[in-house]
Structures are given as structure tokens and as C-alpha cells.
Amino acid sequence: AMSGTARQIAATGGATIFRLSQGAPFLDVWTTWYCADTCGLITAVPLLLAWSDKRLWRERRPHREVQTLALALVVGLVAAFDFKYHIPGVSLAVPLLLLATFHGGLLGATTASVTIGLAAILETMTGQGFIAHDAGGNMLEKVQNLQIFNIYMLLIAVPVGAVLEQRQRMTV
């Protein structure tokens, strides 16, 4: 409850400032700000929990974390390439996201999802990729589309990673 209230207060303050300084529509900015805070939590919390869960560290092979980070970096670089030179109907990042998930479980799923999200944000903010082109110059639409894209990536990988972790615990 407290987290929801904090997000509402932050969205209200941000929307008020944008309304007064830029003349932006209050409700549009408030909704985007609130959703951005929520998406940030949905992205960051699984990542932080996966990397701080001691059970995941005990059950892993010694170099698994380094491999997971390296694979997530490759996924992020491919995602940046995919955004910059997007071929309609083709997504190079999703198969690699699933590879990182199957290789690293929740660590792979959350880390690769975040690297894809960062690549999407960087490419969109520089005017590259399908999100930037679809939204044109509308910054609110870009942010909202990025939020949907990042949640989509998480929904592809995190449930699979959770099932893989659960399955591994059942066999140990």
C-alpha cells in the first residue's frame, strides 16, 4: 500500500511540475509517470531478488553467474542492433532472451530482460527502432510503448525462468 501511495505522490508532483512548466496535459503525464514507476518496480524487483536470493547462489555452478552476465550482454547488444536495423516481423532478441533464460534461469531471464529494455530505451531515445518510428515525435507515446515492450519482454522470460528454477529445486 505504501509503495502505491509513493508512486501516486510522485506522479502527482511530476505531472504538476510538467503542467506548470510545459503546459503538458496533467492526466496524460500523471498516467505515464505512474505507469513508468510501476514498470520500474516490475523490472527492478525481480532482477534484485534473483541476484540476491542465496538459494539461487548455492544451487549454481561456479561460473554460471559470469556466463549469465556475458550472455545478457550479448542479448543487449543484439537487441540494440535489432532496434537500430529493425526488420519488420523479425525479432532477434527474443530467441536470445529465451536462450539466456534456459541457461541462467531467473538470473538469465531478469538480467537479459533488463539489457533488452536498456537497449530499447537507448535506441528509442536516439530516434532509432520501431518504437521511435511508430510514435513519431510524441514523447509520451514513446515512453508508453517502451513500458509495454519492457513488460512484454519480462512476461516472456520471467515465468519460464521461475518454472525452470522450481523444476531444478524439485530434482535436487
**pLDDT on residue 1:** 52
pTM (two decimals): 0.77
**pLDDT on residue 115:** 93
51-55, 96-100, 146-150, range with greatest mean pLDDT:
96-100
The pLDDT tens digits of the residues spanning 107-146 come to: 899 999 999 989 988 888 888 888 888 877 777 788 888 8
Neighbours of 158 (CB within 10 A): 20
pLDDT (mean) for 95-118:
91
Between the two ends of the chain, the Cα-to-Cα distance in Å is 37
CA distance readout (Å), 5 to 8, 18, 45, 48, 148: 5, 20, 18, 22, 22
**pLDDT on residue 44:** 81
Mean of pLDDT over the chain = 82
Judged against a pLDDT cut of 60, whether residue 18 lies above it is answered with: yes
Q: Which of 56, 60, 61, 100 is nearest to 78 (CA)?
A: 100
Q: Which of 20, 17, 37, 57 is nearest to 147 (CA)?
A: 37
The pLDDT tens digits of the residues spanning 34-58 come to: 887 777 777 788 888 877 877 665 5
Binning pLDDT at 50, 70 and 90, where does residue 101 land?
very high
156 dihedral zone (left: phi>0; alpha: psi -120 to 50; beta): alpha
pLDDT (mean) for 146-157:
89
